[in-house]
Structure 1
Amino acid sequence: MCNVFFLLFLFISLSLYFSSLFFMMLELEVFIEFSLLYLNSFSLVYLVVLDWVSLMFMSFVLFISSMIIKYSDEYMHGDKKLNRFIMLMILFVCSMMFMILSPNLISILLGWDGLGLVSYALVIYYQNVKSFNAGMLTALSNRIGDAALLMSIALMSNFGGWNLLNYMDFYTSNHIMMMISFFIILAAITKSAQIPFSSWLPAAMAAPTPVSSLVHSSTLVTAGVYLLIRFSPSFPSSFLDILLYLSLFTMFMAGLGANFEFDLKKIIALSTLSQLGMMMTILCLGNTDLAFFHLLIHALFKALLFMCAGAIIHNLGNCQDIRYMGGIISFLPLTCTCMNISNFALCGIPFLSGFYSKDLVAEAFSMEIMGIFTYLVFFISIGLTVSYTIRLSYYVMFGDFNSISMILLSDNNNKIMLKGMIGLVFLVIFKGSLLSWLFFSTPYLIVLPFYMKIMTLIMIIMGAFLGYEFSQMKYFYLLKAMFFYHSSMFFSGMWNLPILSTFGVNSYFLNLGKIYTKNFDQGWMEYYGSKNLFWSMKSSSMILQLLSRNHLKVFLLLMFMFMLFLILFIL
């Protein structure tokens, strides 16, 4: 089953990729409308928009999915429900396709809700308490975005249709359209886990690694960014300014948190959060092409990074703590080579694919007239990216081996997984330069002073030094270690966001639900509603049953009484 879907997705992906190049060359856009319902002046139309953006994104999603399905064949080997797992992955990809293709709010909501529902099913795939908690946190955080989309659908009923492309001209001049744009931005923030909804993203790591690889590269978390890429050129600038600061702080917080984290998958999840912040930042400044470019490149190297992490976890007997790893490059050279390539692409090392998007994003950001504060936060976040990457590499690959001695580590253990990973490695190396030639027919003209021009390089070097220092923390004195411990609790806890946005908030609603259940559902509502109604119906039916069982006696009694009445009063 895995091989069938692997070949099918690969074939469709290549077809869509060449179609997108054809559409890009001819500057084609195809609109296909399906009229579903007409009611008075109201029409329900399902619209499909085929242009190079949607086709390119779909081709990337399907290509990465095909590689992950190939990879899952070995990673999930021995799972009794492997077919169910593959079908859930395919449902996930189909929901994403549904969302990409149509600018109609109803179909966006269907794809959006499909992503939320299937992601919940995948996060709770390993049936344990941690997975259930993580799944509920993921589902409830995403429900806020679903509710925001439902509100925008309700508000758009005033306009006689739900196709957002028809109303982009007066987003800023009409109050209702401004409210709709606010709700769409809110939905995008929840799905892409920006502050204050960031806590669900690391929690979703309870899912199997192939799911993490798919979710964090090209599907769930990028849905919000893709929605904004489609519609943000018409949004009010005040909303985008607020979103700019939220995404900048998300980027900074995630980079800082990853430097204090010890769970391999959570470090990569926080890395995804940091890159999402970068995409949102450049998108808020009006560079939607650059945000889309970085989105595609990030999807490639992040999928590969998760696959490498999964192979290491698989070999180490499902251990995810990086303190128990070390020296793995001697045992898994091919896996570690792939991981290093994707790490370098993440850092923006020239001339890997990440460099072409990340460096361009940093320089386009420098071209904008921003305050010194935003400039510093952005570039420090870039440095922190390199810092946690170097720290991760040191702990996993170059440090002392800290796992149990009787363990067999070999690349021969994961031959099928390596096929999926090698399918992505070449794209991680070459795709950046290829796409930069295709996307930007007119090169970006960037004029910067020398120091601003090399600022990215300076931050990469400083970040590498900081990452090495972080990995040597065990040599610090006791006092410094104590300070480090307390600060790490705050930073690795994502600035207490999980407590502020979920754990600290949900107790109030749970207590309120308990009071409502006790006093209403099992109290007055029960008395005036179901229970009392049941007793009334039961007692009346018992009387009727008594009558029906004894109807002959009752009839004879009534007849006797009637005859008695006749004798006494009439005769």
Structure 2
Amino acid sequence: MVWKVYMHYSSMLFLMLNAVICLILFMSSMMSGLTSVLEWELMSMNSLSVVFVLVFDWISLLFLSFVLLISSSVMYYSGSYMMGDKSYNRFMYLVLAFVFSMAMMVLSPNLISILLGWDGLGLVSYALVIFYQNEKSANAGMLTILSNRVGDIAILMSIGLVANLGSWNFFIWGGYLSDGNWILLKAFMVLAAMTKSAQIPFSAWLPAAMAAPTPVSALVHSSTLVTAGVYLMIRFSSALEGSVVQSMLLIISCLTMFMAGLGANFEYDLKKIIALSTLSQLGVMLSILALGFPDLAFFHLLSHALFKALLFMCAGAVIHSVGGYQDIRYMGCLVKFMPLSVSYMTVANLALCGFPFLAGFYSKDMVLEVAFMSWINMVALTLYILATGLTVSYTSRLVFYSLSGSYNLSALSNVHDEDKVMSNSMTVLGFSAIMMGAILAWLLFPEPYLICMSIFMKTLVIMITVVGAFFGYMLNLMSMNYMLKSLSSYKYVVMFGSMWFMPFLSTKKISEVSMIKGATMEKLMDKGWYEYMGSQGLYYTLSHMFMILNSLQLNSIKVFMKMFAVGVLVLMFIFV
């Protein structure tokens, strides 16, 4: 019982200590410019060596320190959020296994050792999504793990293709692939990143994974699982330069961030709105990476991890206080009852919108300006502009319904801000969301980017933000969203609000087709030719052979006479 009470303390201290160690090692690596590599050879086949590699450079150490910092806050937060659950210890062990798998993936430059952390993330995420053990969780977990298995297969195919290069370490052959060749390998790596980061057409599993407990959502959507695909592309970015796969990734990621921003404006589930905002920001990261700026993608990945974890933890505190409701229409005016949580939630929302001098401003503003300055087509530019406005729009809508609107809850008793464990864990990330953007900008970019654009393009981001905030708040204030649900436009609202029917296509249609085809294949193959030529045919043949052998071993005179007669007939046929 004592272990149950203090486990979140011990886990938090252990992860925080490791985060500090990784941060010190990062500063040492950044100042010296050195990279440490640990390598264990497991087996050797001709000229190929299967090795387990850990690389400690400034990218892996900085990202791992962020993962451990956020994980320590989430573990401490879970001590209060999950305290009444009967499977508290199992939850804690699963989260620790989740963090360990992510650390394995971050520190591995080798495709084989990456696969260990990659598969570990998929397996543990499935166990966490089905944690509450109901039908909704089971369906969401199945959709999650089956979507991620596509990426696992792509990694396995990449391992087979890379065997021709003599090494699975992409630090060695990454620069060699920076031309128009090896398109299939690049396509497989991009496919793996798209499944983990839930890009179109694999986007349906990300909102479905909200069936997991809220601390898991805070961890998954900030620094683990969904960021694994972006991190893999950052490591693999040198091989993508100048290939057609890079252009495809740009269009897909731009469509994803537009689709997610549009869907969040029609969603009423608090956790799903934040999940769709994560999906939109993942599209921003992969799109700027596809434009050839992996350092900016890494910068936005780190700053986004801080305020997104804070946003989910604030949402968890709100859901915890209002009695488990997740529909934002049942909330409202929470600023009067939960001032501290609402303050942190507002900071996280403003950072998401790119409010000046918060963490999101330094990364997102630079990403947008570099994208506007790059050689991109009109489609990608339009999607960037629309997605930026939609981000501010759904954030303003969320603020109106949950924080500043009219009070819609039926009871007042549980709405308070007195949980010290949750408040303390949110405080760490709150200060990080305010200050770490500037600190990271000073660390990662000692020489500033040269931004050259017209005054219209320079002020375009501010104009988009203001217009998006106005539409998001005023349209919901005037209840225009109900007018949109008229009979004439209902089908369009359903399409935009359901992620372009992607959950429907990913579950119902695929399952129907697979079941029909599976029944046909079972009838023709499993119970047909496979049965006749396989196990049953073999059983029939062997049983008859054993019956013949058994008759021979019984020394029956009839058998010998038959065999003698057959032999005589054969001899006559041969010699006559």
TM-score, normalised via structure 1 length: 0.91
Asked if the contact 1:178–1:236 (Cα under 8 Å) also holds between the matched residues in 2, the reply is no
Secondary structure at the aligned position of 2:94 is classed as helix
Distance (whole Å) between structure 1 residues aligned to residue 61 and residue 500 of structure 2: 39
Deviations 1:189-244 (A, max 9, x none): 11111111111111111111111111110000000000011111221422111111
Matched, 1:29 2:22: no
- Out of 394-403 and 214-223, give the one that drifted further: 394-403
> Does the CA contact (< 8 Å) of 2:179 and 2:241 recur in 1?
no
Question: Contact 2:484–2:493 at 8 Å: present in 1 too?
Answer: no
Aligned to 1:128: 134
Residues 542 and 473 of structure 1: CA distance in aligned 2, closer, same or farther (over 3 Å): farther
User: d(CA) in 2 for partners of 1:174 and 1:531?
Assistant: 51
Select 1:201's aligned residue among 189, 197, 206: 206
- Equivalence for 1:563: none
Using the TM superposition, give the Cα deviation of residue 148 of structure 1 relative to its aligned residue in structure 2, in angstroms.
0.7
Which of 64, 74, 77 matches 2:80? Answer: 74
1:102-152 Cα deviation digits (max 9, x unpaired): 111111111111111111111111111111111111111111111111111
Shift in Å, 1:343: 0.4
Q: Does 1:183 align with 2:188?
A: yes
Q: Note if 1:289 corresponds to 2:288.
A: no
Residue by residue over 1:473-532, the C-alpha shift from the partner in whole angstroms, topping out at 9 and shown as x without a partner, is 536786874456443211111112223344323321222222233443344544555567
- Tell me if structure 1 keeps the 8 A contact 2:179–2:239: no
Q: Which whole-Å CA distance do the structure 1 matches of 2:482 and 2:46 have between them? A: 77
Q: Do the aligned residues in 2 keep the contact of 1:258 with 1:267 (CA within 8 Å)?
A: yes
Q: Is this contact kept in 1: 2:484–2:490, CA < 8 A?
A: no
C-alpha separation between the residues in 2 aligned to 1:452 and 1:292?
A: 24
**What corresponds to 1:336 in structure 2?**
342
Identity %: 52
Distance 1:88 1:209 in 2: 14
Q: For 1:341-352, list aligned pairs within 5 A.
A: 341-352=347-358
| C-alpha distance in 2 between matches for 1:252 and 1:164 | 32
2:421 is aligned with 1:420:
no
Equivalent residue for 1:456, pick from 447, 458, 461:
461
CA distance in structure 2 between the aligned counterparts of 1:112 and 1:472, rounded to whole angstroms:
44
1:153 alignment counterpart: 159
User: Cα RMSD over matched residues?
Assistant: 2.5
Question: Aligned-pair distance for 1:369?
Answer: 2.4
Alignment of 1:249-288 (within 5 A): 249-288=255-294
Instruction: State the partner residue of 2:16.
Output: 10
Give the Å deviation of 1:543. Answer: 12
Counterpart of 1:192 in structure 2 is 197
Alignment match, 1:368: 374
CA distance in 1, matches of 2:62, 2:484: 53
Mapped contact 2:485–2:493 kept (Cα < 8 A): no
Contact 2:178 2:238 in 1 (8 A): no
Per-residue Cα deviation, 1:449-476 (whole angstroms, up to 9, x for no partner): 1111111111110010110133235367
CA distance in 2 between partners of 1:286 and 1:358 (Å): 16
2:109–2:171 Cα contact (<8 Å) kept = yes
Equivalent residue for 2:561?
none
Moved more, 533-542 or 12-21: 533-542
What is the number of residues matched between the two proteins? 550
1:109 aligned onto 2:115? yes
Give structure 1 stretches of 5+ with no counterpart.
Answer: 546-553, 559-571
Match of residue 472, structure 2, among 464, 467, 486: 467
Separation (CA, whole Å) in 1 of partners of 2:105 and 2:483? 53
Q: Which residue of 1 aligns with 2:148?
A: 142
Decide whether the 8 Å contact of 1:343 with 1:389 is kept in 2. Answer: yes
Q: Secondary structure at the match of 1:48?
A: strand
Mapping for residues 222-237 of structure 1, pairs under 5 Å: 222-237=227-242
Are 1:118 and 2:127 an aligned pair? no
Give the structure 2 partner of residue 55 of structure 1: 61
Matched, 1:299 2:317: no
Structure 1 pair 173/328, CA: closer, same or farther in 2 (3 Å)? closer
In structure 2, the partner of 1:90 is 96
Residue 381 and residue 519 in structure 1: after superposition, are their counterparts in 2 closer, same or farther (change >3 A)?
same
Point out where structure 2 has 5 or more consecutive residues left out of the alignment.
1-6, 558-576
User: SS at 2:126's partner residue?
Assistant: helix
Partner of 1:430: 435
Q: Kindly state the Cα deviation for residue 542 of structure 1 after the two structures are TM-superposed.
A: 12
Question: Structure 1 residues 431 and 477, CA, compared in 2 at 3 Å: closer, same or farther?
Answer: closer
Between the aligned partners of 1:33 and 1:476, the Cα distance in structure 2 is 58
CA contact (8 A) 1:64 1:303 kept: yes
Distance 1:483 1:75 in 2: 44
Q: TM-score, normalised by structure 2?
A: 0.90
What is the CA-CA distance between 1:41 and the residue it aligns to?
2.0
Match of 1:356 among 359, 362, 365: 362
C-alpha distance in structure 1 between counterparts of 2:410 and 2:392, whole Å: 30
SS in 2 for 1:36: strand
Mapping of residues 314-329 of structure 1, within 5 Å: 314-329=320-335
For residue 574 of structure 2, what is the aligned residue in structure 1?
Answer: none
2:475 touches 2:481 (CA, 8 Å); kept in 1? no
Offset at residue 312 of structure 1 (A) = 0.8
Query: Residue 35 of structure 1 aligns to which amino acid in structure 2?
Result: E
